[in-house]
């Protein structure tokens, strides 16, 4: 960088800043600023031409005034004029003013762009860097349109200096984030990968950031970066600190570059080449070994740099999930941080171990640290030196993740014990997790009932409706636990103070199954009624309404208490109740008990039938609570080649499943996860279809606009799906649920498809009775297609061979990427796609009710962006998207015009390929 001459000190600016600082009041400051603004304005409008130094000084003053919070409405042209100066300091101030004060809609943007072009073409590295910094700082769409094609050429040019390459890489990264559609992918992408071999580590660091972002969106274009990244990482981790002296930070060699390289490798699966894979394993082992070495410095910067590399290496090990030795070593080293004095390290260790707990290789190793985690959960130990609730929340997440059949009772008991003193902010989440674990691992359902009632006793205020609803569902669906549940709630209700949620559970269960304990004189019908009615006056209106329903059920179950209950219903407090719901129930129940015969009463008030098996509402509640806030933005998420997102929370559940009653149908046979989008919603729509030897397509249309649900079910097997797609890649999780109590033997599955590349992971040949197993399918769309793949399943049940074929819902619209467009851009593109073969139009009768919000949801679920304010008719729906295949991209525009009076739709699609238009029109029209 050029030296600043003595005359560039700008004494006038220093005096002005000093005057401002010496002002005694706000009024004095404003007066001084107004005086200075008037002086600057007169100088700029004067006849005498200002020299570069004066312009720079006055522009600096304007910039300072702006930073104080005052509006600046002049001086922009003088700043632009500074860009043409050959002096570094003048040009620098001009660019600084523009970066801060000039917006993308300014009339000066063309002049600014011309000045930037001149500096980029000057081959003066200092001027080029200033120009690149300005482009990155402004980052507007206009800047991207003007320079997105020029910057890659500068980046890969052989004669570009290292400092300029760094700036060019980071500038391109900025433009890619702000306007990704304007950054062209071309031959430069192959050349930019080789910057990983550059001699200058600053260039390598900047290039790695750029390649990582690009690889997340177009992994195939940057596959060659894997080998180069491994080679560079190997050289760094095996080098002595003196070898990379300029990039050694507190005795740690190039920590920032190491972290970036490890993140780049997380965009891809483990290398297939054995030599490359071995070299990467050696690098990771070296990082783990170095983390165990005695510290070379006691300063916190040294430990921070070393731990940053260590945690990123562990993240890569978890991402690959293929080296059992490394996974166990990572787990053991993380365990050493669980009692560390530094809160951040404990937090990161707990977070990483949550993810390790989902791996079949490291799950057992994680369980060995259970006592340490429990200690971290119970209290803020003095040696921890912190009362950070987030650490205890992560400890809860880890206990939840490491829970299995062998330790479920201990973990649930510890969570219940901690719940009494837990931080208020995490109590509801602990309640949900205890409820889920108790249900999942409830071999003995009497333990489940005890656990949930204890949960209500300890933290009744935090027990949501979903929890006690689920208890009712399970008790009603399981004959073997109904009597015990009635006895237990009856005993619990005898406590002087009962939480209202316990009264609700007690009222419901005794109203249904009180007869099962009525033989005991201590729980006779009259005793049960008096016990429930003693709580009546303390309850809210909804609970009172439930108790009234329990009373009328008692009349059916116990005729001997009919008169007592009728007296209660006949009382003024009921018949003249201020609440209309309670009054109506009392009147109707009283009349029903008086005029209905015994048979009619028994028919009307018969026992509740079993609830249909579906997704647990508790699991859905936890999913909503953990919510989007727990997830990284899409731009920052780390995606593997098959489109999977790696989270800091638990990742994909293991294929292994444990024997468990299938009655809960919760997807609970996979390891629990605290990540929001990993609580799998696969059983949201339970529907039965008969077994068939031909290809089952019954539920196929339901998945055109959604990715989760049950695709097939018969009396033996239920198949649930959860899918995620990104560009031309997809990943589908297939869940096979054995609904019987008998093993499925010789279980195998295969996928047949002529148009898609589908790679299924192997499955276990045995599914235990009542258990569930997961299979992952990695999908690649090569070109546009019309025929969906078929899943073929074969297994033996009771000695008989079963064959099932199911059409998988992988349609062309699954590979849509939504595209936002302005009204002008939309109709301009619409006209460009005006050829007859590019348009498909269909007019059809509405098959469902014409609801606007439902239609919007279906169009969004179809995969396109819904464009508001584009169509002149606000009742019409307009969408845009791009279908991504390996070979090409196909843009798509659609218009859906509803006619409410005629109950009809007109659907028009225009794409650049006629076969795509036809197929998309067929798929979407069937949804309305």
Annotated binding-site members = 11-12, 43, 53, 57-61
Residues paired with 732 in a beta bridge = 723, 777
Strands 816-818 and 877-884: antiparallel
- The 3-state DSSP composition of the chain as helix, strand, coil percent (nearest 5) reads 55, 10, 30
- Give the Cα separation of 182 and 175 in Å (integer): 8
Give the residue from 733, 796, 730, 725 showing the smallest Cα distance to 761.
733
- Give the Cα separation of 458 and 453 in Å (integer): 9
Asked whether the beta carbons of 102 and 66 are under 8 A apart, the reply is no
What is the C-alpha R_g of the chain? Answer: 34
Helix or strand (DSSP H, E) at 776:
strand 772-781
- Give the Cα separation of 236 and 257 in Å (integer): 9
Tokens at 544, concatenated: 């009172």
Give the residue from 443, 388, 394, 437 showing the smallest Cα distance to 413.
437
Complete edge-to-edge strand list for the sheet that includes strand 756-760: 708-713, 717-726, 729-738, 772-781, 756-760
- Give the Cα separation of 813 and 788 in Å (integer): 12
Q: What angle do CA 536, 542, 547 make, to 5 degrees?
A: 40
214 phi/psi in degrees, rounded to 5: -70, -40
Tokens at 621, concatenated: 């509640």
646 phi/psi in degrees, rounded to 5: -90, 125
> In Å, how far are 56, 576, 763, 876, 902 from 735, measured between CA atoms?
68, 54, 11, 39, 43
Which residues make Cβ contacts (< 8 Å) with residue 860, sequence separation at least 6?
Answer: 818, 866
- Residues in the chain, overall count: 928
CA dihedral 813, 819, 825, 829 (to 10 degrees): -20
> In Å, how far are 214, 705, 755, 780 from 810, measured between CA atoms?
26, 11, 11, 11
Asked whether the beta carbons of 148 and 176 are under 8 A apart, the reply is no
Number of H helices and number of E strands within the chain? 37, 19
Strands 865-866 and 252-253: unpaired
DSSP string, 12-55: HHHHHHHHHHH-SSHHHHHHHHHHHHHHHHHHHHSSSPPPHHHH
Strands 904-911 and 889-899: antiparallel
- Give the Cα separation of 182 and 520 in Å (integer): 79
Token pair 């028009």 is found at 908
DSSP string, 779-842: EEE-S---SPPEEEEEEEETTEEEEEEEE----GGGGEEE----HHHHHHHHHHT-SGGGEEEE
């Amino acid at each position: 960088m050029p030296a600043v001459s003595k005359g560039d000190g700008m004494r006038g600016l220093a005096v002005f800043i000093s005057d401002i600082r010496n002002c005694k009041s706000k009024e004095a400051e404003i007066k001084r600023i107004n005086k200075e603004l008037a002086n600057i304005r007169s100088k700029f409008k004067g006849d005498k031409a200002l020299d570069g130094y004066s312009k720079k000084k006055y522009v600096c003053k304007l910039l300072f005034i702006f930073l104080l919070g005052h509006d600046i409405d002049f001086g922009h042209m003088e700043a632009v004029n500074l860009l043409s100066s050959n002096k570094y300091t003048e040009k620098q101030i001009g660019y600084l003013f523009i970066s801060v004060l000039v917006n993308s809609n300014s009339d000066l943007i063309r002049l600014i762009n011309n000045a930037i072009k001149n500096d980029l073409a000057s081959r003066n590295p200092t001027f080029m860097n200033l120009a690149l910094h300005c482009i990155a700082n402004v980052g507007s769409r206009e800047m991207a349109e003007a320079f997105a094609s020029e910057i890659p050429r500068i980046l890969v040019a052989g004669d570009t200096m290292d400092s300029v390459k760094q700036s060019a890489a980071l500038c391109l990264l900025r433009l890619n984030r702000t306007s990704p559609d304007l950054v062209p992918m071309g031959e430069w992408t192959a050349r930019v990968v080789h910057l990983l071999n550059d001699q200058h580590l600053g260039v390598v660091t900047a290039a790695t950031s750029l390649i990582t972002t690009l690889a997340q969106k177009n992994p195939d274009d940057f596959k060659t970066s894997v080998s180069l990244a491994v080679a560079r990482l190997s050289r760094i981790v095996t080098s002595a600190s003196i070898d990379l002296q300029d990039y050694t930070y507190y005795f740690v060699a190039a920590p920032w570059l190491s972290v970036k390289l490890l993140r780049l490798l997380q965009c891809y699966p483990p290398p297939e080449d054995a030599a490359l894979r071995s070299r990467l394993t050696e690098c990771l082992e070296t990082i783990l070994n170095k983390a165990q070495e005695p510290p070379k410095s006691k300063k916190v910067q040294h430990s921070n740099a070393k731990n940053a590399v260590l945690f990123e290496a562990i993240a890569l090990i978890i991402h690959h999930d293929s080296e059992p030795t490394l996974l166990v070593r990572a787990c053991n080293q993380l365990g050493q941080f669980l009692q560390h004095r530094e809160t951040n390290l404990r937090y990161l260790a707990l977070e990483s171990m949550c993810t390790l707990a989902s791996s079949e290789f490291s799950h057992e190793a994680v369980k060995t640290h259970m006592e340490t985690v429990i200690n971290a959960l119970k209290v803020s130990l003095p040696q921890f030196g912190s009362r950070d609730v987030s650490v205890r929340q992560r400890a809860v997440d880890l206990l939840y993740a490491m829970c299995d059949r062998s330790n479920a009772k201990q973990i649930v008991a510890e969570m219940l014990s901690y719940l009494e003193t837990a931080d208020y902010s995490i109590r509801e989440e602990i309640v949900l997790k205890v409820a889920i674990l108790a249900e999942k691992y409830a071999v003995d359902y009497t333990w489940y009932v005890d656990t949930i009632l204890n949960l209500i006793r300890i933290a009744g205020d935090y027990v949501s409706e979903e929890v006690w609803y689920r208890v009712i569902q399970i008790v009603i669906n399981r004959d073997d636990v109904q009597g015990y549940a009635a006895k237990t709630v009856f005993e619990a209700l005898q406590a002087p103070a009962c939480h209202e949620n316990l009264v609700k559970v007690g009222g419901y269960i005794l109203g249904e199954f009180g007869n099962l304990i009525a033989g005991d004189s201590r729980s006779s019908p009259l005793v049960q009624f008096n016990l429930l009615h003693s709580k009546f006056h303390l309850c809210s209106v909804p609970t009172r309404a439930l108790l009234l329903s329990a009373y009328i059920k008692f009349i059916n179950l116990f005729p001997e208490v009919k008169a007592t209950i009728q007296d209660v219903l006949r009382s003024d407090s009921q018949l003249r109740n201020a609440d209309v719901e309670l009054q109506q129930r009392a009147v109707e129940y009283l009349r029903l008990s008086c005029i209905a015969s015994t048979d009619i009463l028994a028919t009307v008030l018969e026992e509740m039938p079993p609830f249909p098996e579906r997704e647990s509402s508790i699991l859905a509640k936890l999913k909503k609570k953990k919510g989007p806030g727990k997830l990284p933005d899409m731009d920052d998420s780390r995606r593997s080649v098959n489109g999977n997102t790696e989270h800091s929370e638990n990742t994909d559940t293991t294929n292994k499943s444990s024997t468990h009653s299938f009655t809960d149908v919760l997807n609970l046979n996979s390891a629990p996860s605290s990540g929001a989008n990993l609580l799998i919603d696969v059983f949201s729509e339970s529907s039965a279809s008969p077994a068939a030897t031909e290809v089952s397509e019954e539920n196929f249309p339901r998945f055109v606009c959604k990715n989760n649900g049950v695709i097939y079910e018969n009396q033996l097997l239920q198949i649930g799906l959860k899918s995620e797609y990104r560009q031309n890649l997809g990943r589908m999780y297939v869940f096979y649920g054995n609904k019987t109590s008998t093993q499925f033997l010789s279980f195998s599955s295969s996928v047949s498809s002529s148009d898609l590349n589908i790679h299924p992971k192997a499955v276990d040949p045995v599914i235990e009775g009542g258990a569930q197993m997961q299979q992952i399918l990695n999908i690649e769309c090569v070109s546009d297609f019309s025929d969906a793949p078929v899943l073929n399943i074969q297994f033996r049940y009771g000695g008989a061979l079963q064959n099932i074929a199911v059409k998988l819902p992988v349609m062309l619209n699954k590979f849509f990427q939504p595209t936002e467009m302005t009204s002008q851009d939309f109709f301009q593109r619409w006209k460009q796609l005006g050829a007859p073969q590019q348009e498909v139009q269909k007019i059809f009768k509405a098959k469902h009710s014409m609801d606007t919000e439902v239609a919007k949801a279906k169009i969004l679920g179809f995969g396109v962006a819904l464009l508001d304010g584009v169509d002149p008719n606000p009742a019409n729906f307009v969408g845009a998207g791009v279908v991504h295949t390996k070979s090409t991209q196909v843009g798509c525009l659609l218009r859906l015009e509803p006619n409410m009076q005629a109950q009809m739709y007109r659907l028009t699609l225009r794409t650049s390929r006629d076969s795509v238009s036809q197929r998309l029109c067929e798929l979407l029209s069937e949804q309305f």
